[in-house]
């Protein structure tokens, strides 16, 4: 190969094609949508508990079925995307998210609503993995960490902006109407994905690898991932560090802030959603720090330390309410450091099974929602004094919520301990 041809190929490989960017954008847009589905409980929990006569524990269990579906399909989603490309799995997943919303709003049965919530989770399982696969196969490797951060930033914008929008719309719409809108959005974005996203027979070689990696069978790839101890250390770290999202920002944060500060739901939710604003800003910022200090583990360690420290005043110190916006923003900013674990798990596993490795890691992260959304609810029920309102619904005290939220700094401390056994993986990204 002539030097002119080599220069030409390298120049091509270092550029992001318009098609690649468009595909990434719509995959990330679905990730934006799935975050709205994820934070839906923060906007409608009170009304749903009232209409279905649910306790905190049973409401947490109902909404946690999103995480059951999400976690259960992480590995299958990764395998399907690795083997068949992004277009059909992602388009079908978006349609399934919309269908889950239909199940949720047409029924007053908690069983069918749980099934609908599970469908939302199954569809959502494909969002982040599809974006990762597009980045891996169509983007130059030097853009991987940055666009990973941007993907997460766009998704968390759905959590922040979408969650706040739903809460404001709840003032003039029923919760059933809100879920109908989400159903339509899911079906529309499904059609757009089928039209826009293209899969080629052979992935573009943008990783500049010295030699191609040997293809492995599906079970062989999973076996290699599962047998790697680092996969488990990183996954457990991610799962515990995800509790502030799944337990606080997605489920119980708004109710806690309403009780602590005596404010209306829209105001409390607005404060909680600044956590997602911080998370969105923190994703690319922490990616920048990882590149600056050439260390993934350092960023993950600092994230665990400051996440635990910053939640202590959030839970136990009543501050001027305007300050909660600032503190929750910084809580999201530092918690975003744990998202570096998604890059880390790619670095310690075979690239040809990248989506499968990401799926396995994301499955472990989502288990935090499966466990902690109902667990925090049951802790609230455990400390409940037995007081009820005129409708017979439980009335929970501030201390009930504080006892449950105390789990957040504890899991951050355990996460910090895990960083001492996680191997530094930054160097493995070099080309």
For residue 118, give the CATH number of its domain: 1.20.1250.20
DSSP tag of 336: G
| Residue 355 pLDDT level (bands cut at 50, 70, 90) | low
Tell which residue, 339, 371, 362, 372, has the closest CA to residue 76. 362
Q: Is residue 10 part of a domain?
A: no
Asked if 124 and 37 count as a contact pair (C-beta separation under 8 A), the reply is: yes
The token pair at 160 is: 């922040």
Asked if 153 and 280 count as a contact pair (C-beta separation under 8 A), the reply is: yes
The token pair at 240 is: 């515990």
**Does residue 382 or residue 153 have the better pLDDT?**
382
Q: Is residue 297 part of a domain?
A: yes
Residue with tokens 């200090």: 293
* Mean pLDDT on 307-327: 96
Q: Which of 95-109, 255-269, 298-312, 417-431 has the highest mean pLDDT?
A: 298-312
Q: Is residue 315 part of a domain?
A: yes
Per-residue pLDDT at 336 exceeds 50: yes
First-to-last alpha carbon distance for the chain, in angstroms, is 20
Q: Is residue 140 part of a domain?
A: yes
Rounded Cα distance, 324 and 185, in Å: 32
The token pair at 111 is: 């069983």
Q: Which of 148-157, 212-221, 256-265, 334-343 has the highest mean pLDDT?
A: 256-265
- Count of structural domains, the chain: 1
SS3 394: strand
Q: Which of 49-53, 111-115, 286-290, 375-379 has the highest mean pLDDT?
A: 375-379
| Residue 44 pLDDT level (bands cut at 50, 70, 90) | confident
Asked if 300 and 337 count as a contact pair (C-beta separation under 8 A), the reply is: yes
Q: What is the pLDDT of residue 19?
A: 86
Name 367's Cβ contacts closer than 8 Å, sequence gap at least 6: 67, 71, 239
Q: What is the pLDDT of residues 226-252, one digit of tens each?
A: 888 999 999 999 999 999 988 998 889
Q: Is residue 312 part of a domain?
A: yes
Q: Is residue 40 part of a domain?
A: yes
Residues in a beta bridge with 388: 394
Weakest mean pLDDT among 8-17, 52-61, 291-300: 8-17
Environment class of 431 (CB within 10 Å of its CB; exposed 0-12, middle 13-18, buried 19+): exposed
Q: Is residue 324 part of a domain?
A: yes
Q: What is the pLDDT of residues 126-145, one digit of tens each?
A: 988 888 888 878 888 777 77
Q: How many of the other CB atoms lie within 10 Å of CB of 109?
A: 11
Domain membership of residue 143 as a residue range: 22-198+219-429
* Mean pLDDT on 37-64: 83
Asked if 79 and 218 count as a contact pair (C-beta separation under 8 A), the reply is: yes
The token pair at 39 is: 């934070």
- Tell me the percentage of the chain whose pLDDT exceeds 70: 90
Asked if 37 and 182 count as a contact pair (C-beta separation under 8 A), the reply is: yes
Per-residue pLDDT at 213 exceeds 50: no
Maximum alpha-carbon separation in the chain: 83
pTM: 0.73
Q: Is residue 16 part of a domain?
A: no
Environment class of 6 (CB within 10 Å of its CB; exposed 0-12, middle 13-18, buried 19+): exposed
């Amino acid at each position: 190969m002539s030097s002119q041809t080599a220069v030409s190929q390298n120049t091509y490989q270092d550029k992001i094609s318009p098609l690649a960017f468009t595909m990434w954008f719509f995959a990330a847009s679905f990730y934006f949508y799935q975050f709205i589905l994820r934070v839906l409980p923060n906007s409608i929990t009170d009304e749903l508990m009232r209409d279905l006569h649910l306790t905190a524990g049973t409401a947490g269990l109902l909404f946690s079925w999103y995480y059951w579906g999400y976690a259960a399909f992480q590995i299958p989603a990764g395998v399907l995307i690795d083997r068949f490309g992004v277009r059909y799995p992602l388009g079908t997943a978006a349609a399934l998210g919309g269908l889950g919303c239909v199940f949720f709003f047409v029924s007053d049965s908690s069983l069918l609503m749980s099934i609908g919530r599970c469908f939302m989770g199954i569809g959502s399982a494909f969002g982040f993995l599809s974006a990762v696969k597009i980045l891996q196969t169509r983007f130059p490797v030097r853009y991987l960490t940055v666009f990973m951060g941007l993907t997460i930033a766009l998704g968390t914008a759905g959590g922040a902006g979408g969650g706040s929008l739903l809460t404001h719309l709840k003032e003039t719409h029923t919760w059933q109407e809100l879920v109908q809108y989400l159903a339509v959005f899911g079906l529309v974005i499904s059609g757009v994905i089928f039209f826009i996203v293209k899969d080629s027979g052979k992935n573009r070689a943008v990783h500049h690898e010295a030699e191609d990696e040997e293809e492995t069978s599906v079970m062989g790839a999973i076996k290699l991932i599962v047998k790697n101890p680092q996969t488990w250390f990183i996954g457990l770290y991610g799962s515990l560090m995800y509790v502030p999202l799944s337990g606080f920002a997605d489920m119980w944060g708004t109710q806690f802030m309403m009780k602590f500060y005596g404010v209306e739901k829209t105001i409390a939710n607005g404060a909680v959603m600044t956590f997602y604003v911080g998370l969105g800003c923190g994703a690319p910022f922490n990616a920048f720090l990882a590149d600056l200090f050439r260390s993934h583990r350092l960023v993950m360690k600092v994230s665990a330390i400051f996440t635990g420290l910053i939640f202590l005043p959030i839970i136990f110190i009543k501050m001027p309410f305007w300050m909660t916006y600032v503190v929750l923003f910084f809580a999201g900013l530092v918690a975003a450091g744990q998202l570096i674990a998604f890059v880390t798990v790619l670095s310690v596993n075979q690239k040809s099974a990248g989506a499968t490795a990401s799926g396995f890691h994301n499955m472990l992260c989502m288990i935090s929602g499966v466990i902690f959304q109902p667990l925090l609810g049951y802790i609230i029920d455990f400390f409940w004094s037995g007081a009820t309102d005129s409708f017979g619904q439980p009335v929970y005290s501030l201390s009930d919520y504080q006892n449950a939220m105390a789990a957040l700094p504890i899991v951050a401390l355990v996460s910090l301990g895990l960083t001492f056994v996680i191997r530094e993986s930054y160097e493995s990204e070099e080309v």
